[in-house]
Each structure stands twice: as C-alpha cells, then as structure tokens.
Amino acid sequence: MTTPTPPLSTALRTLREDFGISGNEAAKRAGLSQSKVSRAERGAFAPSPEDVAELCRVYRAPATVRRELMQMAQDLKEASHSARMTLQRGGWWMQERIGKIERTAARLREFSPSIVVGLVQTPDYIRALFGDSLPPEDLERTVQARLLRQDILTSGRTIDIVMAEGALRWCMGSPDIMAGQLAHLIDISQAGHVRLGIIPFTTPATVPALHPFAIYDSRAVLVGTINATALITDAQNLRDYEDYWTEIQDLITWGDGARTHLERIRHDFLQGA
C-alpha cells in the first residue's frame, strides 16, 4: 500500500507550527485574513492554489512540498466533468482525480441510496459496475485506480459511509458477486477504520433518498449523476448537503445493528445464488 498523504488542512497547519508562528502572524505575512488561515487549517474552507502558494512562501516550504499542496488545492477547485468526457479519457482518470481530492481531507462523509460506495467496493463489483462501458485495458486500469483509493480507509482519517438498503439489494453482476460484496462490508464494519451505517427499507423517513454524494471536511462536495460528476465548493450549496447529512442521522443504523442487516441481505443473496 502507498503511504497516505496528509490532508491539505493538516499539512498547512503542520508547516505553520514547524515554522513557529501563530495563525494570525501567518495571515499577516501572506496577505490573508486570519479567519481564512484558521478555516483552511480546520478543513472548513478550500484555499485557492494562490493562497497555498503564499502560505508556503511564508513557511519557507521546499519547492516539492509547495507544488504538491498547490496541486491538492487545484484538485479541490469547483469543476464538473461529463460522463462522456470521463469515458473518453478513461474511467481510471476520474478515479485518480477523486483519489487526489480524498487525500486532501481529514474527514470524509459519503451517502448513497442506489449503489455501493466506491471506497468499499470489491474488484468483482467494480468490474460488474463498469461492465461494457470501458474497453478491457481501461476497465482493469479503472479497477486498480479505484482500489488504490481504498488505501485511505486505514489512514486514520474520520470516514463515515452510509448506504440505503436499496444500494445493497441491487444485484450488481450476480448474487455471488453481491454475497462477496456484503461479506466485504461486514469485514470493514468490524475493522474499526470506517463507521458504516445502513438505512433499512422499513425505517420511516421524512426526507427523500437523494443522489449519491461525498462531503470532504466542510469545504467540498462531490456529486455524481448519470451524465456528470461535479465538485461543489459554493458555501450555500455546501450547507445544503451538510443540512441533509444532519437530517438523515436519525435514520441510520450503525454498528451491530448495521451488521445484522448486512448479514440478512447477504443470506438472501446466498439463497438466490
């Protein structure tokens, strides 16, 4: 496994502390507001590559570190990529881009009502998911790129993954593939690296099941639809997703309760295999 890169917020805070100045003094020297520096170090704000460059200059960071952190900030800039463009470049390209974004964050929250979240998919599930949409050479490269993203699961970051039962009932590929996928989820839930939550079919809800999304710290949201993937950093849009995440908390079953549901669903697939 590769050594996980520290989140952007952690890297900026560590550089400042190692240099031995306060956040207020760093802001003055970089020509930024103190609140911007503080929020960037807490993961509540996505600094621009230019902001990062100024802070690295103040901290006298090596050129290699400056370039790496500026690239991380660039990856967090708001952008939208169409599904057609992604497939033309190769599905692996988007997987590598998402992996870079994930590595900038200290906290990840993911929700999906319709598909197993990418960070916890098995190789067989990934192959069934992409199916004939990619040529064989791109398919295997995409599988490996998605699996490399999973290194982050043991990086010490705070990771919450929530799926509606419908995402686990959708028979991607075959009952055998799904039984293996459910077993993998059970293993992950027991390892303690990830908090895995399930929203069962029978849970009364007062909000609709939204599209899949991922929140990185409190500064960016990745949204996937049938024809595009968008990275959103607009403050109001971010609050909407933060509010939705808060709303669904009472619907989620965690821990042993979640594993009970996973075992039950896995048993149903085994019966149908």
- Return the percentage of the chain with pLDDT > 90, whole number: 45
71: left (phi over 0), alpha (psi -120 to 50) or beta: alpha
Which amino acid is residue 206, in one-letter code?
A: T
Q: And the tokens for 121?
A: 């998919």
Q: Is residue 139 part of a domain?
A: yes
pTM: 0.73
Mean pLDDT across the chain, nearest whole number? 86
Neighbours of 2 (CB within 10 A): 10
Q: Is residue 2 part of a domain?
A: no
* Angstrom distance (rounded) from CA 229 to CA 265: 29
* Angstrom distance (rounded) from CA 153 to CA 256: 20
The CATH number covering residue 85 comes to: 3.30.870.10
Q: Which of 102-111, 119-128, 159-168, 177-186 has the lowest mean pLDDT?
A: 102-111
- Mean of pLDDT values over 127-152: 87
Of 186, 153, 170, 161, nearest to 245 by C-alpha is 161
- Single residue among 21, 42, 75 that ends a domain in this structure: 75
Q: Which helix (H) or strand (E) segment is 224 a member of?
A: strand 220-224
- pLDDT band, residue 83 (cuts 50/70/90): very low
The span from the first CA to the last CA of the chain, in angstroms, equals 33
- Position 42 scores a pLDDT of 79
Domain span including residue 238: 79-272
